[in-house]
A and B are shown apart, each in its own frame.
Chain A
Amino acid sequence: MDIKEKIVEAAIEIFSSMVMMDVSVSEEEVNDSGKLKDTITGLIGLAGTHKGVLAIHIPHPVAMAITSNFLGIDVTEINEDVEDAVGELANMMGGNVKTVLTGNGRDIDLSLPSTISGASYQFQTSKDVEKVVVRFDTAHGPFLVELQLEK
């Protein structure tokens, strides 16, 4: 299974089993996350035999809907619950991607998740990286999963 397939499989499994939300791969292909507006990004760093970062970029309204489903409460603002939920999504995505990159054990270490949120920002690409970006659609809007791995 290649990385993109694993990202898709992991996202569908995470959203169906824990977020209780249907997601599908968007027909619109994207190669870059571009300028992100009113978005929250969950980040996980990868270190070891593969170095890089996995990010999940979620527009604020979609992030609030996801967190509402995740926690079973009505979320109407970007708060600590949203940051924690988006960080945990990145954590689970990172853990799943790690299993493709390393068959076993501690060849790759994952960082603890962190989040960035803002009205307008750009997720910079490091030099010499292999980048995979997958856009997903939900009933509340799209979100992106981006994996950058050093070549």
Chain B
Amino acid sequence: MDSNTLYEYFVLQEDGMGKNVLLVDDSSTMRKIIGRSLRQAGIEFDNIFEAGDGLEALAVLEKEKVDIILSDINMPNMDGIAFLREKSNRANMKDIPVLMISTETGDDIIGEAKSLGAVGSIKKPFTPDKVNEILGPLL
């Protein structure tokens, strides 16, 4: 990939069921843990793409086929709420479901995320079982 591009993303695994996921979190540790939790939960994807904020996520979505997005809320540059708002205005990505994974649990902010298209939320910290319980029915 051109090192001058504004974002980086990585393909972590290539043995899935034909679906791709995008993990959006400013913590590389958390992206790795979410990826590990997906595998431990028995949820496999063809490709796991990563983005460090909403801007990077939009750039990935412009280039790649993504079936579901797992996104943090508190992030630099473009947070999860602004990302949902911007994504909802782009016809080529507005229908991709987004599941929020965040320390934020307040009804206001989760309610706003859902009003902007988020299909659910998982509270940090989480277990693979919790990821499976909430993400599984969406796949």
Contact = CB atoms under 8 A, between A and B. Distances in A.
Interface in B14-34: 26-30, 32-33
Say whether chain B's binding surface is mostly helix, strand, loop, or mixed. Answer: loop
B105 interface: yes
Contacts of B126: 17-18
A17 B127 contact: yes
A108 to B, nearest CB: 9
A18 B125 contact: yes
Contact of B106 (A67, A70, A105): A105
Say whether chain A's binding surface is mostly helix, strand, loop, or mixed. Answer: helix
Contacts of A13: 125
B28 A81 contact: yes
Given A87-B27, A112-B74, A71 B32 contact: yes
B124 A92 contact: yes
B125 A92 contact: yes
28 contacts: A13-B125, A17-B126, A17-B127, A67-B29, A71-B32, A80-B28, A81-B28, A84-B29, A85-B29, A87-B27, A88-B27, A88-B29, A91-B74, A91-B103, A92-B124, A92-B125, A94-B103, A95-B103, A95-B104, A95-B105, A95-B123, A96-B103, A98-B103, A99-B105, A104-B108, A110-B103, A112-B74, A113-B27
